[in-house]
């Protein structure tokens, strides 16, 4: 019998009774299952909050064989990660969805092969129920290895390898590249260059494909010297823009495959005494916050970063809970006109 100074922890049965649902329904809500009505979910969540109910995670893990944790794994360096707002948008969207399901999101960086192997060992130990994998390069087989361990994985972006067992969420990168380039053409630009993304990532490949499509459709042959590789960074954009102006000072339009790349390009254009958009029009890709703060404001292609993170998390939760999940989701993009083009 509890002493006068002790309090009995709220139980699942109390939550169910207070919410007016069965114990099974309350359990489904609190473990993040989606096969519950909105009314029941709201009632259970409200009841749990009112009595400060917290599930016994250790006991649940023994029964369900689940950790109630999801890894948000980024295969990039810390410098790249913390300097690119793209990742924060994805993380914010994923965290919102995972938290609503009553689970924990674990943030992990694996920028080297050794770090990736350490994470595989961690996942093999049952410490995570699934993985949201962001920024995969080349034909990296990490998602296949995780799936082989029985750890459901959802990628951000189409993988280079044509593997029909891999689930992913992507933006319409080809359509976005085409949209950006067509806008430059519509603005009267004819000597249009592009600063690409990494060529070992499908985002870089697809945005370049969209640029080529728009140029070809307009009867404008893309010149080799007008296609310069970049790495989605400010520094990479500046270096590429320096090369473009050296090789062809007459270019009048630039499609940069990311907003950070575009910001680097804008700085070099200004340093060379050229005007944007009067001399050179510039369009970026992402629509990060800085795109609206720079002068002139950066015309860009918006991809829904929060929605991408949310969609990835929902897809992974469906897989974890044994529900049918669409293997591929491609989200639409849109042009955001500002003063740079």
Any idea where the domains of the chain sit in the sequence?
Answer: 12-55, 69-171+305-331, 173-302
Examine the pLDDT at 78 and tell me if it is beyond 80. Answer: no
Examine the pLDDT at 112 and tell me if it is beyond 50. Answer: yes
Q: 3-32: per-residue pLDDT in tens?
A: 444 456 788 888 899 999 998 888 878 766
Average pLDDT over residues 92-109: 91
- DSSP H helices, 192-304, are 202-217, 234-247, 259-271, 290-293
Q: Which residue in 203, 267, 212, 252 sits closest to 232, CA to CA?
A: 203
Q: 313-333: per-residue pLDDT in tens?
A: 999 999 998 899 999 999 999
**Helix or strand or coil: residue 154?**
strand
> 173-302: same fold as 69-171+305-331?
yes
Examine the pLDDT at 102 and tell me if it is beyond 50. Answer: yes
Kindly indicate the confidence band of residue 296, based on its pLDDT and cuts at 50, 70 and 90.
very high
Surface-to-core class of residue 25, CB atoms within 10 Å of its CB (0-12 exposed, 13-18 middle, 19+ buried): buried
**Residue 224, CB-side half-sphere exposure with 13 Å CA sphere:** 0
| 69-171+305-331 homologous superfamily | Response regulator (3.40.50.2300)
* pLDDT number for residue 1: 37
Cα-based torsion angle of the residue sequence 271, 275, 279, 283 in order, rounded to the nearest 10 degrees: 90
* pLDDT number for residue 66: 65
* pLDDT number for residue 51: 86
Which range among 83-87, 256-260, 272-276, 314-318 shows the weakest confidence by mean pLDDT? 83-87
Which range among 78-92, 150-164, 189-203, 260-274 shows the weakest confidence by mean pLDDT? 78-92
Q: Whole-model pTM?
A: 0.80
Examine the pLDDT at 63 and tell me if it is beyond 60. Answer: no
Strand partners, 74: 109, 134
* pLDDT number for residue 224: 95
CA gap 326, 45 in Å, rounded = 27
Examine the pLDDT at 64 and tell me if it is beyond 80. Answer: no
Q: 144 to each of 28, 164, 197, 200, how far by Cα in Å?
A: 29, 11, 24, 18
The CATH T-level fold of domain 173-302 is: Rossmann fold (3.40.50)
Kindly indicate the confidence band of residue 156, based on its pLDDT and cuts at 50, 70 and 90.
very high
């Amino acid at each position: 019998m509890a002493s006068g100074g002790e309090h009995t922890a709220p139980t699942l049965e109390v939550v169910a009774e207070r919410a007016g649902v069965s114990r099974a329904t309350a359990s489904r809500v609190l473990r993040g299952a989606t096969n519950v009505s909105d009314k029941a979910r709201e009632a259970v969540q409200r009841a749990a909050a009112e009595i400060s109910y917290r599930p016994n995670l250790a006991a649940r893990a023994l029964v369900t064989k689940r950790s109630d944790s999801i890894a948000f794994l980024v295969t990039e360096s810390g410098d790249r990660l913390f300097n690119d707002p793209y990742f924060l948008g994805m993380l914010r969207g994923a965290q919102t969805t995972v938290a609503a399901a009553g689970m924990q999101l674990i943030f992990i960086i694996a920028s080297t092969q050794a770090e990736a192997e350490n994470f595989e060992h961690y996942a093999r130990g049952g410490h995570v129920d699934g993985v949201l994998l962001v920024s995969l390069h080349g034909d990296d087989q990490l998602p296949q290895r995780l799936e082989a361990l029985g750890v459901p994985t959802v990628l951000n972006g189409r993988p280079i390898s044509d593997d029909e067992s891999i689930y992913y969420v992507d933006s319409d990168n080809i359509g976005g590249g085409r949209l950006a380039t067509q806008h430059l053409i519509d603005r009267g630009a004819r000597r249009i260059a592009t600063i690409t993304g990494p060529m070992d990532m499908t985002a870089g490949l697809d945005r370049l494909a969209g640029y080529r499509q728009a140029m070809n459709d307009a009867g404008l042959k893309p010149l080799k010297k007008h296609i310069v590789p970049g790495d989605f960074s400010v520094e990479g954009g500046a270096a590429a823009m320096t090369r473009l102006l050296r090789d062809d000072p007459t270019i009048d339009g630039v499609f940069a495959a990311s907003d950070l790349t575009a910001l680097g390009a804008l700085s070099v254009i200004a340093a060379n005494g050229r005007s944007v958009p009067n001399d050179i029009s510039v369009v970026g890709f992402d629509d990060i916050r800085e795109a609206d703060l720079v002068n002139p404001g950066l015309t860009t292609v918006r991809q829904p970063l929060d929605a991408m993170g949310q969609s990835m998390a929902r897809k992974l939760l469906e897989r974890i809970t044994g529900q049918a999940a669409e293997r591929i989701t491609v989200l639409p993009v849109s042009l955001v006109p500002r003063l740079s083009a």
